[in-house]
Amino acid sequence: MKKVSDAVIRRLPKYYRHLAELEREGVEKISSSELSKKMGLNASQIRQDFNCFGGFGQQGFGYYVKVLKGEIQSILGLKNRYNAIIVGMGNIGQALASYDNFAREGFFVLGAFDVSKDLVGRSVKGVSIMPMEQMKGFVEQNDVNLGIICTPEQYAAQTAQMLSDCGVKAIWNFAPIDIQMESTIVENVHLSDSLYILSYRINEQMRLDDTKE
Amino acid sequence: MKKVSDAVIRRLPKYYRHLAELEREGVEKISSSELSKKMGLNASQIRQDFNCFGGFGQQGFGYYVKVLKGEIQSILGLKNRYNAIIVGMGNIGQALASYDNFAREGFFVLGAFDVSKDLVGRSVKGVSIMPMEQMKGFVEQNDVNLGIICTPEQYAAQTAQMLSDCGVKAIWNFAPIDIQMESTIVENVHLSDSLYILSYRINEQMRLDDTKE
């Protein structure tokens, strides 16, 4: 498979979500123009994106929802199983440990780690909280390939390094700081970004309302 | 101010984050090429983006970090105060109620609502959980302009409608479903999207490793 651009890859989860929704609604077939309306993209963009992976359809015929969803699921690697650990079991860590939706797609949280003596030894929804020193052994024994960072901002970089040293190949970072690593895959989640977009929109709306008056 | 494209607006929080980081590090001035390296964007893109808002700098001179951060903070509406409520006080709702970082930028969670009799009457980090029937009165009395949806997927759409009927102008949706409304501003947060990008990258890495062998 040839190298696909980052922008296309970042749209794949959105396609997957919309197709899963169509499947749940019982829709069997959809044209690229119907899909484009639903997703707020234009139809030629959709056809171009799909062409990066060899097409999936015949011009003028549309797509079978279930087949297309399956293809994108494969491309995203969502037919595999991933073993995850959470580091930092404050509020966000505990919320993620309790969130069932990830397991539906093959992401299993097998354990959690924290520096706090109050937290170590407890468990959240069946996920045990262990001391940091046990991380390396746990990662090796359980074939952990995903580390979820939920520590405070100031510990995030060293936690990422520790996960990488333990052999974890991919990091999902919820600490509000950008982590960049050479040899480890990182996705930085910035919850505030969408909050700031909202405040922009609220102010834009207020400016429009002022102009109308 | 003229209408700015969605893509530019969506980059503003990223500029804001990086400039805040530079400010914390004590950096006073930065050129667009230094900023571009730090952010992984190209320099002409950055200059174009800033030109949408009238520039902020002089060609060849660079930007004062503090001034530029302040400008973007204003544009994003982050110098105002926002009053928020959370609907759905499961794990994600409780985590958001406990998350201090939002208050730093002027977003205050004043109350929470849930259908569960076990939760109503309790409070999380000083945020009281009230029954749904009290939402309208609370929104009016407290000038609430932001509703945060943390309900299960199947209740998200009706919750959005209820918030809108109560007069809430903006919705931050954490339920794993896209909400689209005519007269209310909505930002849908899809936590899984970045998780799917990670699984794509993990598989891409495995394919590369296979090719090398």
**pLDDT tens string B172-187:** 999 988 899 988 999 9
pLDDT in tens, B129-160: 999 999 999 999 999 999 999 999 899 999 99
Contacts of A101 in chain B (CB under 8 A): 176, 192
pLDDT band at A212 (very low <50, low <70, confident <90, very high): low
pLDDT at A1 over 70: no
Q: Which of B148, B151, B154 is nearest to B171 (CA)?
A: B148
Min distance A199 CA to chain B CA atoms (Å): 6
Min distance A52 CA to chain B CA atoms (Å): 15
CB A133 within 8 A of CB A143: no
The residue assigned the tokens 């333990």 is A166
A9: nearest CA partner in chain B: B197
What percent of chain B stands above pLDDT 90?
64
pLDDT in tens, B31-62: 888 888 888 888 888 888 888 887 676 667 78
For residue B41, what pLDDT is reported?
A: 84
pLDDT band at B2 (very low <50, low <70, confident <90, very high): low
pLDDT in tens, A58-73: 667 788 999 999 999 9
For residue A58, what pLDDT is reported?
A: 66
Higher pLDDT, A155 or B40: A155
Min distance A61 CA to chain B CA atoms (Å): 27
pLDDT at B128 over 60: yes
* Tokens describing residue B174: 């954490």
Phi and psi for A98 in degrees, rounded to 5? -90, -5
The residue assigned the tokens 């209310």 is B184
- Least CB–CB distance from B185: residue in A9, A101, A205: A205
For residue B59, what pLDDT is reported?
A: 62
Q: What is the mean pLDDT of residues A189-208?
A: 90
Please judge whether A91 and B94 are an interchain contact, meaning their C-beta atoms are less than 8 angstroms apart. yes
Q: How far is CA B198 from CA A203, B11, B42, B171, in A?
A: 34, 21, 24, 27
DSSP conformation class of A168: -
Q: What is the mean pLDDT of residues A114-126?
A: 95
pLDDT in tens, B78-123: 999 999 999 999 988 998 998 877 888 899 999 999 999 999 999 9
Please judge whether B187 and A198 are an interchain contact, meaning their C-beta atoms are less than 8 angstroms apart. yes
Higher pLDDT, A71 or B210: A71
Contacts of A126 in chain B (CB under 8 A): none
> If DSSP codes are grouped into helix, strand and coil, which group holds residue A28?
coil
- Least CB–CB distance from B192: residue in A82, A101, A190: A101
pLDDT at A96 over 70: yes
pLDDT band at A209 (very low <50, low <70, confident <90, very high): confident
Q: Worst-scoring range by mean pLDDT, A49-53, A57-61, A191-195?
A: A57-61
Please judge whether B78 and A196 are an interchain contact, meaning their C-beta atoms are less than 8 angstroms apart. yes
Identity of the amino acid at A35: L
What percent of chain B stands above pLDDT 70?
96
B146 strand-pairing partners = B84, B170
Q: What is the mean pLDDT of residues A114-131?
A: 96
Q: Which of B2, B107, B106 is nearest to A208 (CA)?
A: B2
pLDDT in tens, A164-192: 999 999 999 999 888 999 889 999 998 89
pLDDT at A81 over 70: yes
d(C-alpha A173, C-alpha B44), whole Å = 29
Q: What is the mean pLDDT of residues A158-163?
A: 98
What percent of chain A stands above pLDDT 90?
64
d(C-alpha A137, C-alpha B32), whole Å = 45
Q: Tell me how crowded residue A123 is: count the other CB atoms within 10 A of its CB.
A: 14
- Least CB–CB distance from A9: residue in B90, B188, B200: B200
Q: Are strands B123-124 and B107-114 parallel, antiparallel or unpaired?
A: unpaired
pLDDT band at A57 (very low <50, low <70, confident <90, very high): low
For residue A4, what pLDDT is reported?
A: 81
